Amino acid sequence: MFVRLAEQHRQFVKDLVMNLQALAIVLEELGYLASCYTCGGQMNSASFMVSLGDNHLIRFLVSDYGITWTEMRDDRELMKLEGAEAIQQLHELANLAKFKVEPTHSSTQVSSQV
């Protein structure tokens, strides 16, 4: 059972990394500064970052050790979420791409833009 769960987790992380890479590309096409870096070719971890303007930065980290969402403004941490809550916030960010919301120079947060 544990071997099966470990393999499912590895596949989940790999799928999440691939989706983060795609999200970075789509957000860049909309005009956001976005990037997604992976270590090696195994797709077992990624660092995703996007600037929402006005020194508003989102960092999403995924690895075998966990999932973390960090939101910062003016180099200050506003919010840090882990696990399912981090993924839910990532879903809200993905709505920017889904609804083709272009970057603005306002000071609104992600959840209020969608």
What is the pLDDT, as a whole number, of residue 105?
56
Q: Please, what is the average pLDDT of the chain?
A: 89
pTM of the model: 0.84
Q: What band does 13 get if pLDDT is binned at 50, 70 and 90?
A: very high
Helix ranges (DSSP H) in 1-114: 2-29, 83-98, 110-113
Q: Map out the domains of the chain as residue ranges.
A: 2-113
Which range scores top for mean pLDDT: 7-11, 41-45, 104-108?
7-11
Would the pLDDT of 113 be above 80? no
